[in-house]
């Protein structure tokens, strides 16, 4: 994989999981990996468009970490977003990965940039993170914590990929 500059998180409605991943990634970029991720952009979208604002459970989880979500704009995935991003990370094989591949089967290289977040993070089992939309708060937070834990591994992998790519470009 070549240099990763633009990362898109994809879920069903762009209101729970993808929003959490986007804003957690931005927070980690600003607070922990500032130098290593300075040129990386994070965004999110949904296969469908349900609401204009993130779910209350997602906002509450992010706020508990000191993360404000004041510039969010819900988006539905389209061809332009796919082409624009180097890496697209979903949360469910059947509902995100397969549906996106079917809907945009005409796009080349989609297989090279579309992954489950936890698979890309290097996890070996229990790779899907179900939609917490109808979950009670404790279960909702558990799902978002899985996203955060996987995201940290994803960010470290992106840093490593970009270092290798930069090294190859300087040879």
Residue 1 has pLDDT above 80, yes or no: no
Residue 142's φ and ψ, nearest 5 degrees, are -65, -40
Tell me whether residue 144 is in a domain.
Answer: yes
Domain of residue 119, residue span: 6-170
Q: The sheet that has 87-90: what strands, in order across it?
A: 41-46, 6-11, 87-90, 114-116
Tally of structural domains, the chain: 1
Q: What is the pLDDT of residues 67-110, one digit of tens each?
A: 999 999 999 999 999 999 999 999 999 999 999 999 999 998 89
- DSSP H helices, 32-131, are 56-63, 79-84, 99-103, 117-120
Tell me whether residue 1 is in a domain.
Answer: no
3-state SS, residue 167? helix
Contact at 8 Å (CB) between 97 and 114? yes
Tell me whether residue 131 is in a domain.
Answer: yes
Q: The domain that contains 110 carries what CATH number?
A: 3.40.50.2300
E strands of 22-145, at which residues? Answer: 41-46, 87-90, 114-116
Q: What's the mean pLDDT in 58-71?
A: 96
Tell me whether residue 140 is in a domain.
Answer: yes
Give the per-residue pLDDT at 170. Answer: 56
Tell me whether residue 125 is in a domain.
Answer: yes
Going by C-alpha positions, the residue among 81, 149, 82 that lies closest to residue 110 is 82
Tell me whether residue 137 is in a domain.
Answer: yes
Residue 6's φ and ψ, nearest 5 degrees, are -135, 120
- Res. 50 pLDDT band, cuts 50 70 90: confident
Tell me whether residue 28 is in a domain.
Answer: yes
Most distant CA pair in the chain, distance: 53
């Amino acid at each position: 994989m070549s240099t990763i500059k633009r990362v898109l998180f994809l879920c069903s409605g762009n209101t729970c999981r993808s929003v959490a991943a986007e804003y957690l990634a931005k927070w980690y970029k600003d607070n922990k990996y500032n130098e290593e991720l300075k040129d990386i952009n994070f965004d999110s979208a949904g296969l469908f468009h349900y609401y204009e604002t993130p779910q209350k459970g997602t906002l509450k989880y992010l706020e508990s970490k000191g993360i404000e979500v004041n510039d969010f704009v819900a988006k539905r995935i389209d061809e332009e977003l796919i082409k624009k991003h180097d890496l697209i990370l979903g949360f469910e094989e059947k509902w995100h990965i397969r549906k996106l591949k079917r809907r945009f089967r005409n796009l080349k290289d989609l297989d090279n940039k579309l992954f489950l977040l936890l698979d890309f993070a290097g996890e070996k089992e229990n790779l899907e993170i179900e939609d917490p939309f109808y979950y009670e708060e404790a279960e909702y937070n558990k799902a978002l914590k899985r996203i955060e834990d996987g995201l940290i591994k994803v960010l470290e992998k992106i840093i490593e990929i970009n270092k290798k790519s930069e090294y190859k470009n300087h040879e």
